[in-house]
Amino acid sequence: MNVLTQDQFYRRALALATALLSVVAVVVWRLVFLQREHPTEVLPDTVLAPEAVFPPERGNIYDCHGYLLAAASTVYDIGATPRNVKDAEMLADRLAPLLDEPRERLLTLLRKGGAHVPLKRGVSAEVKDSILEWGEGVIQADPQPGRVYPSRSLAACVLGFVSGEAEGYYGVEGYYDELLAGEAGFRMATRDSLGSLFYQFRAPRDGVDLFLTLDRNMQYVVEEALAKAVLTNDAKGGVVIVMDPATGAILAMAGNPTYDPNDFAVTDQSLFVNPAVSDHYEPGSVFKIVTIASALDAGAISPSSTYYDNGQIVVGGRVIENSSGVAYGETRIADLLAQSLNVGAAHVSTSLGAVKFYEYLRRFGFGQPTGVDLAYEVPGNLRVPGDREWHESDLGTNSFGQGLAVTPLQMLCAVSAVGNGGLLMRPHVVSRIVEKDEVTELPPQVVRQVISPEVAGQMTQMLVYAVDTVLTAAAIPNYQVAGKSGTSEVPVPGGYDPKETIASFAGYVPADDPRFSMLVIIDRPQKDYWGMTVAAPVFREIAQQLLTLLAVPPDSVRASMQ
Amino acid sequence: MGSGRIAASRSETFLGQAIAQLSDDLRRWLYVLALLCLISLLAFLYLTRASHVARQIEEMRGCESQLRELRRANSAILLQIAQCEQLPRIQQAARDLGLGEPQHIEYVEVVLDQPAPLFGDEMAREPPLSSPVDSSHLSGWWQEALCQFADWILGSVARAEPPGG
């Protein structure tokens, strides 16, 4: 037996150790190399890509009772790999009904060749699942954040919509886009100073949930009645806003025609505009409420004041006449309001004086945005002394709501200020913001005291008198209604359209303790033209239903309970 | 304490002597072996850490996917509820049940299940000194009688609004 010498043993052992060390060194070097240079080769790329963005979930929108109005959802962009398609005709046949796309279009796309062709965006999970059951390997489904409005067109002008790029437009979606959208999370592969790879990770912050002041039941009642009124009067459109005058909370807001935000992509873009805040109109005689209230508050007139109505008045060289063309003689302020006399309104505004009159209009919030939390609000158009366009005759015409443009919301805020004792409230549609467990209540905001409570009370009595005596179409049995109608002309280049009008009615119920104030506007009615005959009945119809919904007892019952 | 020091110095001396006795080659071999062990240990630690991270990534991926599924299911349920709560659907269901719009609404006073203030508000606000009989045990007719008596004493309150009024 060959016996190794100690020297030989050491040499061989050393050689073996060196070989083993070399192998270990190579393995370690390779591991380090792979980790540094090709991190994704170390881990299967299906497990974790080095970089990723995690989209946040958009917040939901609820009405004041917690009914869902807008919800986040996941939709899928469906695509195909044409080079893997064996039978394009058969595939197009199967896809066409599921994707609701023309077969020929799909066939053209599938025959294009290449690695990927998009077939349809925004497909529901159910459709995606049924396609992937048989289309695995050929069809791909890419999840995308989506938005669903389960009540379809209900409150569309308040809600707005979310685009395919997850951006909110119009309404609440536009105004609160940043809060609703949340913040995307990410994962990013970076290296430290020693060159070691590590992942930076930030979880996505989901969007907040919004609870609106809107009551979906009231909204439904309002939308139904408005649609019926527009149809009955063969009108171009209409607007109704219902507000809680005590808080400025908007209870319902409807525009007609409307649209379904689920189908915003195939909707006429002009319908996206909320006419209650983004359009303005000449308010007509409803504006006399503001004129009379201002003059009463300034002390220029008193409830017992009278003036002599001879059928016309000249202001700034312009002759102003009553719409009826009749002279009423000695007339009380209450009758001026009830009969809606332009001459009387101009008499009052000139008695008040331009400086005071326009100061009051500003105090009522005209010519500036109300600050409502809805996207794209416009300030209206109010010319004041000192402006180049202002003319002395504006003092007369503005007094009965001509020659100035206001938004429907501005008009209702002013009427609500009269109804609630003289406080101008900031209108709002969001009452509560909920972020996980944190609830932020948005309290009502008083803008300013516009008129004294005493004057507000006197105005209410005059408006009740107007409804009881002349505007009886708005009267509701067993409830005192305070209100005023308006019929305004439609301005066109060079004057006013002689054939078209905007009929409106604004008021609040019950007059002594209003639960809601409401403005009804019917745009260009064709069968009748007057606010008194077109808008007042709509006001009554809606108000009656809202009183039932809100369980407001008749005045006599309320009086006996006090 | 002294004996401990002596024992330690003895063992150090013995180890030093043993190392000194080894040949230079053997010493080199031991160094190589130690280095090999060290590198193997480092490689083992590295691989353990890498596999641990990979396992965590896999778990994270599973959680992410589970979260996505749960959210999707939650959204689907929310939407399903919303669909069921749609007003046109409820309206239709009500019509199918034979319900209609109210022709008139009558407001009636609701008598709450508590004793009426017999001797004025001040008395009623004060808690009773002793309550031998629980008011909730009183029979309906007795409560009704008490209420009527209270109405008679304190003045009448509108108890019902006539139809339409």
Supply the pLDDT for residue A188.
Answer: 84
Please give the share of chain A, as a percent, with pLDDT higher than 70. 96
Supply the pLDDT for residue B1.
Answer: 47
- Alpha helices in A176-258, H assignment, sequence order: 177-181, 216-232
- Per domain, the residue ranges of chain A are 216-561
Q: How far is B82 from chain A (nearest CA, A)?
A: 6
**Do B18 and B79 sit in the same domain of this protein?**
yes
Please provide the average confidence, as pLDDT, over all residues in chain A. 91
Supply the pLDDT for residue A381.
Answer: 95
SS (H, E, C) B125-144: HCCCCCCCCCHHHCCHHHHH
Work out the pLDDT band at A280, boundaries 50, 70, 90.
Answer: very high
Q: What is the mean pLDDT of residues A337-357?
A: 96
**Do B12 and B56 sit in the same domain of this protein?**
yes
**Do B113 and B165 sit in the same domain of this protein?**
yes
Determine, for residues B36 and A21 on separate chains, whether the beta-carbon distance falls below 8 Å.
Answer: yes
- What 8-state DSSP symbol labels residue A148? E
Q: How far is A28 from chain B (nearest CA, A)?
A: 6
Q: Quick check: helix, strand or coil at residue B88?
A: helix
Q: Are strands A139-148 and A117-123 parallel, antiparallel or unpaired?
A: unpaired
Query: Using CB atoms and an 8 Å cut-off, which of residues 50-69 of chain A contact chain B?
Result: 57, 60, 67-68
A31: left (phi over 0), alpha (psi -120 to 50) or beta: alpha
Q: What is the mean pLDDT of residues A293-318?
A: 95
Supply the pLDDT for residue B22.
Answer: 65
Task: Pick the most confident of A70-79, A424-433, B80-89, B139-148.
Answer: A424-433
Q: Does B71 touch chain A (CB under 8 A)?
A: yes
- Alpha helices in A199-257, H assignment, sequence order: 216-232
Q: Does A188 touch chain B (CB under 8 A)?
A: no
- Cα–Cα distance, A494 to A497 (Å, whole number): 9
Q: Transcribe B27-68 into DSSP letters.
A: HHHHHHHHHHHHHHHHHHHHHHHHHHHHHHHHHHHHHHHHHH
Determine, for residues B42 and A28 on separate chains, whether the beta-carbon distance falls below 8 Å.
Answer: yes
**Do B126 and B157 sit in the same domain of this protein?**
yes
Write out the H or E segment, with its range, that includes residue A342.
Answer: helix A342-352
**Do B23 and B72 sit in the same domain of this protein?**
yes
**Do B69 and B143 sit in the same domain of this protein?**
no
- Cα–Cα distance, A214 to A298 (Å, whole number): 35
Q: What is the mean pLDDT of residues A481-498?
A: 93
Its domain, for residue B125, covers 104-165
- Cα–Cα distance, A407 to A94 (Å, whole number): 52
Work out the pLDDT band at B106, boundaries 50, 70, 90.
Answer: confident
Q: What angle separates helix A288-298 from helix A342-352, to the nearest 10 degrees? A: 40
Supply the pLDDT for residue B136.
Answer: 46
Q: Which residues of B touch A68 (CB under 8 A)?
A: 78-79, 81-82, 85
Work out the pLDDT band at B159, boundaries 50, 70, 90.
Answer: very low
Select the residue of A11, A17, A143 nearest B33 (Cβ to Cβ).
Answer: A17
Supply the pLDDT for residue B33.
Answer: 81
**Do B50 and B120 sit in the same domain of this protein?**
no
**Do B80 and B8 sit in the same domain of this protein?**
yes
pLDDT of A107 > 80? The answer is: yes
Strand partners, A312: A321
- Cα–Cα distance, A351 to B146 (Å, whole number): 62
Strand partners, A438: A435
Give residue-wise pLDDT tens across range A400-459.
999 999 999 999 999 999 999 999 999 999 999 999 889 999 999 999 999 999 999 999
Q: Please check whether residue B120 lies inside any domain of the structure.
A: yes
Work out the pLDDT band at B124, boundaries 50, 70, 90.
Answer: very low
pLDDT of B161 > 60? The answer is: no
Q: What is the mean pLDDT of residues B7-22?
A: 63
- Cα–Cα distance, A417 to A426 (Å, whole number): 10
Q: Which residues of A touch B157 (CB under 8 A)?
A: 560-561
Q: Does B155 touch chain A (CB under 8 A)?
A: no
Select the residue of A7, A57, A557 nearest B71 (Cβ to Cβ).
Answer: A57
- Cα–Cα distance, A252 to A216 (Å, whole number): 8
SS (H, E, C) A483-548: EEEEEEEEEECCEEEEEEEEEEEEEEECCCCCCEEEEEEEECCCCCCCHHHHHHHHHHHHHHHHHH
Q: How far is A245 from chain B (nearest CA, A)?
A: 25
Determine, for residues A57 and B60 on separate chains, whether the beta-carbon distance falls below 8 Å.
Answer: no
Tell the CATH superfamily of the A216-561 domain: DD-peptidase/beta-lactamase superfamily (3.40.710.10)
What dihedral do alpha carbons A379, A417, A250, A159 form, nearest 10°? 0
Residue A423: C-alpha distances to residues A290, A412, A445, A447, A450 (Å):
13, 13, 10, 7, 6
Supply the pLDDT for residue A24.
Answer: 75
Select the residue of B32, B58, B72 nearest A125 (Cβ to Cβ).
Answer: B72
Give residue-wise pLDDT tens across range B45-103.
888 888 888 888 889 888 988 988 888 888 889 888 998 999 989 989 999 999 988 87
- Cα–Cα distance, B103 to A51 (Å, whole number): 66
pLDDT of B154 > 70? The answer is: no
Q: Please check whether residue B75 lies inside any domain of the structure.
A: yes
Q: Please check whether residue B62 lies inside any domain of the structure.
A: yes
Domain count, chain B: 2
Decide which of B84, B112, B127 is a domain's last residue.
Answer: B84
Reading across the β-sheet that carries A482-492, which strands appear in turn? A249-256, A237-244, A516-523, A495-509, A482-492
pLDDT of A109 > 70? The answer is: yes
- Cα–Cα distance, A286 to A304 (Å, whole number): 21
Decide which of B18, B52, B84 is a domain's last residue.
Answer: B84
**Do B17 and B75 sit in the same domain of this protein?**
yes
Q: Quick check: helix, strand or coil at residue A320?
A: strand
Select the residue of A7, A25, A150 nearest B79 (Cβ to Cβ).
Answer: A150
| pTM exceeds 0.90 for this model | no
Q: Which residues of A touch B85 (CB under 8 A)?
A: 67-68
Task: Pick the most confident of A60-69, A94-103, B54-63.
Answer: A60-69
Site from A5, A7, A11, A67 to mutate, B interface, most B CB atoms within 10 angstroms: A67
Work out the pLDDT band at B131, boundaries 50, 70, 90.
Answer: very low
**A298 versus A112: which is more confidently predicted?**
A298
Work out the pLDDT band at B113, boundaries 50, 70, 90.
Answer: low
CB A96 within 8 A of CB A89: no
pLDDT of B144 > 80? The answer is: no
Query: Using CB atoms and an 8 Å cut-off, which of residues 96-155 of chain A contact chain B?
Result: 125, 143, 148, 150-151, 154
Work out the pLDDT band at B126, boundaries 50, 70, 90.
Answer: very low
Determine, for residues A557 and B158 on separate chains, whether the beta-carbon distance falls below 8 Å.
Answer: yes
Q: Please check whether residue B97 lies inside any domain of the structure.
A: no
SS3 content of chain B, % helix, strand, coil (to 5): 70, 0, 30
Q: A537 CB contacts (<8 Å, ≥6 apart)?
A: A229, A473, A474
Determine, for residues B35 and A13 on separate chains, whether the beta-carbon distance falls below 8 Å.
Answer: no
Work out the pLDDT band at B107, boundaries 50, 70, 90.
Answer: confident
pLDDT of B155 > 80? The answer is: no
**Do B53 and B123 sit in the same domain of this protein?**
no
Q: Does B161 touch chain A (CB under 8 A)?
A: yes
Select the residue of A14, A148, A553 nearest B29 (Cβ to Cβ).
Answer: A14
Q: How far is B9 from chain A (nearest CA, A)?
A: 32
- What 8-state DSSP symbol labels residue A63? -
Q: B110 CB contacts (<8 Å, ≥6 apart)?
A: none
**Do B62 and B110 sit in the same domain of this protein?**
no
Determine, for residues A47 and B82 on separate chains, whether the beta-carbon distance falls below 8 Å.
Answer: no
Supply the pLDDT for residue A198.
Answer: 76
